Structure 1
Amino acid sequence: MDDLTAITVIEADGEPLEPFTSKHVLEIGEAVATNGAVLIRNAQAHGAEDFQRALTALGFEPLEYTERSTPRTKVGDGVFTSTEYPAREVIPQHCESSYAGAWPGRLAFFCVTPAETGGATPITDVARVLEDIPGEVVEAVESRGLRYVRNYGNGVGLGWRDAFQADGREQVNRFCAANGLEWEWLEDDCLRTFRQAPAIAVHPRTGRRIWFNHLVLFHQSSLPGDTREALVSLLGEDRLPHDVLFGDGTPIPDDMVAAARSAFERRSQRFDWRRNDLMVIDNMRWSHGREAFTGERKVLVAMSDLISRRTPVTY
């Protein structure tokens, strides 16, 4: 069932996508500023090329996907496939790159091919999520901070060459040094990185406190029980592809993460993709995820308006 109560829906009534977005750029921008999310429906379009032209009309300056966490294919200038995980897998709610040193302020999703069943991209208001999470959980993660631990090159998850789009170690060393990452090279050409980061942020335009982190997605409790047990047995607690600890390096209890996950589930809103749907969201107001699906789903994504932990900007 569709739930579009918090998303501004703009009907294109069969007009070509790029001229329509050019003509309605102010209306679209105002909708994103007001609600943080806008969905353009029933436009004519022909794949990635028309999506790219619509992005230009909307003032997107496409960003590269750096410090990657998931496999994607680049199909245009700053245009990527959405995460290429198996169709049976659910991707939990997250704000794009909230684990990183910099992240996009805006995201655009474009549906080339809707799934046969499922495959929605649910979104969740992260200010309301913060309000719903028990106070003791918020206090714990806010006062102690988070420590993201990632391992590359052990045969599970991305290798460091893909994650950092690097040919050699020196490129990775420079990136880590410039972007606030601790790192160490391990045996068998493996890399481990660490990042200290807050769990709570303040939206640069609205001033509202928001739940802005990758705890629900990166914590090892996000893995199915059997998979988690097998990976810990095979790799060890400190060699999982990704995990989130308290800032002092102690584990975050599963029940705390479950409380945050429940808040997302209560607040999540979803709709079924239609061909040529274009959704633009404020990445610091709405998280997103992915339902499992059947069929040949293809959704593209682009990112714009870089925000950095070191030099925040208003967008």
Structure 2
Amino acid sequence: MDELTGITVLEADGERLGPFVHRQVTAVDEAIAEAGAVLIRGAGADGVEDFQQALDGLGFEPLEYTERSTPRSEVGDGVFTSTEYPAREVIPQHCESSYAGAWPGRLAFFCATPAATGGATPIADVARVLEDIPDEVVRAVETRGLRYVRNYGSGVGLDWREAFQTDSPAEVARFCAAGGLEWEWLEDDRLRTVRRAPATVAHPRTGRRVWFNHLVLFHQSSLPQGLRGDLVALFGEGGLPNDVLFGDGSPIPDETVAAVRTAFERRAQRFGWHRHDLLVIDNMRWSHGREAFTGERRVLVSMSDLISRAALPQPVLRG
């Protein structure tokens, strides 16, 4: 395991995961409050039931996964598979649902089956990532804001029924109206949504300004070059499944995103999953991603503590 700087690692020494978490919940809560992340290693577990017992011990009230951006399967009450992208693909750093109007405050990851090779879930302190992003990049995105454009139903990416977990256009319209999303129904049963959002926010508990957005993950430059060109040629600049622009709709240069990607790479901490590892993180303090892998990797996730964008304090900007 690569060293995790400033993150508590609790060794269970073979104790069942659920009872261990119940017994150590104070230590877990203190670690989350102090550092925003804790790793529990060496516990005994059989599968989803043990993970759910641990979630009960953590006080999780699992959230539904709505306004989805990636394919997942629900394998238990509020327990999902991690993103079901092909093993060869790398998932860039992001904070869960930071493109949305509301998101989970805490995430819990449980390793049911580690990969044969690769498959780590690197994490990065998003306050420190912000410190490493060039000032001119931060000023640009804070001044101009971000515009997330998502297209559903093209045959690439998610269909709107999967993303919004309903087959009712009226339900989708109600969700969008309530959550601050602009939406437009297009021909051939397609849907386009637009959300304007800031690139940084203030953490609701600490007040610290953090980098909290989907810029790297949604930007076109994160696509393989050949695929990017093919998708733009097929659907046009405004028709990609996911994209992020400046708030006024103008493109964000690739080099701007590259500077952010470099900051994430500098701050990312990785570790190789062990069977039955449990990682709990504050979703507004730590981003996460996924390495490519081989083998039958199976990591489960649950989300809790819904945070609404409308309820956040305003960040204190640097002079």
Report TM bin, short chain.
over 0.9
1:193 is aligned to 193
Q: Deviation per CA, 1:74-104, whole angstroms, max 9, x where unpaired?
A: 0111100000000000000000000000000
* Unmatched segments (≥5 aa) in structure 2: 314-319
Aligned residue for 1:11? 11
Q: Which residue of 1 aligns with 2:289?
A: 289
Distance 1:58 1:200 in 2: 28
What is the aligned partner in structure 2 of residue 253 from structure 1?
253
1:181 counterpart = 2:181: yes
* Letter in structure 2 aligned against 1:278: L
- In 2, the alpha carbon distance for the partners of 1:208 and 1:259 equals 22
Q: What is the CA deviation profile of residues 196-252 of structure 1, one whole-angstrom value per residue up to 9, with x for unaligned ones? A: 000000111111110000000001111011110011011111000010010011011
Shift of 1:6: 2.6
**C-alpha distance in 2 between matches for 1:310 and 1:206:** 17
Q: Which moved more, 1:4-13 or 1:285-294?
A: 4-13
Residue matched to 2:306: 306
Alignment of 1:158-173 (within 5 A): 158-173=158-173
SS in 2 for 1:238: coil
> Offset at 1:5?
1.9
Q: CA deviation at 1:310?
A: 1.7
Asked if residue 239 in structure 1 is aligned to residue 213 in structure 2, the reply is no
Q: What residue is the counterpart of 2:84 in the other structure? A: 84
Q: How does 1:123-138 map to 2 (within 5 A)?
A: 123-138=123-138
For residues 97-134 of structure 1, give each alpha carbon's deviation from its aligned partner in whole angstroms, at most 9, with x where no partner exists.
Answer: 00000000000000000000000000000000000000
TM-align CA RMSD = 0.8
Instruction: Measure the CA separation in 2 of the matches of 1:255 and 1:154.
Output: 28
The structural deviation recorded for 1:311 is: 2.6
Indicate whether 1:213 and 2:196 are aligned: no
Alignment of 1:2-151 (within 5 A): 2-151=2-151
Deviation at 1:162, TM superposition (A): 0.1
Partner of 1:263: 263
Query: CA–CA distance in 1 between the matches of 2:229 and 2:13?
Result: 51
For 1:239, what is the secondary structure of its paired residue?
coil
Per the TM alignment, residue 56 of structure 1 is displaced from its structure 2 partner at its CA by 0.6
Q: Match for 1:124: what amino acid?
A: A
AA partner of residue 204 (structure 1): P
Deviation at 1:312, TM superposition (A): 3.8
C-alpha distance in 2, partners of 1:168/1:103? Answer: 23
Identity of aligned residues (%): 76
The residue that corresponds to 1:278 in the other structure is 278
Query: Letter of the aligned partner of 2:239 in structure 1?
Result: R
For residues 232 and 80 of structure 1, the distance between their equivalents in structure 2, rounded to whole angstroms, comes to: 31
Letter of the 1:137 partner, please give it. V
CA contact (8 A) 2:116 2:294 kept: yes
8 A Cα contact 2:202 2:312, kept in partner: no
Cα separation, 2, equivalents of 1:208 and 1:291: 29
Aligned length: 313
Query: 5+ residue gaps in structure 1?
Result: none
Alignment partner, residue 227 of structure 2 = 227
- Which whole-Å CA distance do the structure 2 matches of 1:198 and 1:48 have between them? 36
Deviation larger for 116-125 or 202-211:
202-211
Deviations 1:125-146 (A, max 9, x none): 0000000000000000001100
Q: Residue 86 of structure 1: SS of its match in structure 2?
A: coil
Deviation per residue, 1:41-78 (Å, 9 max, x gap):
00001111110110011100100001000000001111
Structure 2: distance between partners of 1:136 and 1:282: 28
AA in 2 matched with 1:302: S
SS at 2:162 equivalent: helix
For residues 3 and 163 of structure 2, the distance between their equivalents in structure 1, rounded to whole angstroms, comes to 34
Q: Which runs of 4+ in 1 moved over 2 A?
A: none
Whichever residue aligns with residue 187 of structure 1, its letter is E
CA deviations on 1:249-269 (whole Å, 9 max, x unpaired) are 101111000000000001000
Q: Secondary structure at 1:45's aligned position in 2?
A: coil
Q: Supply the AA of the counterpart residue of 1:291.
A: E
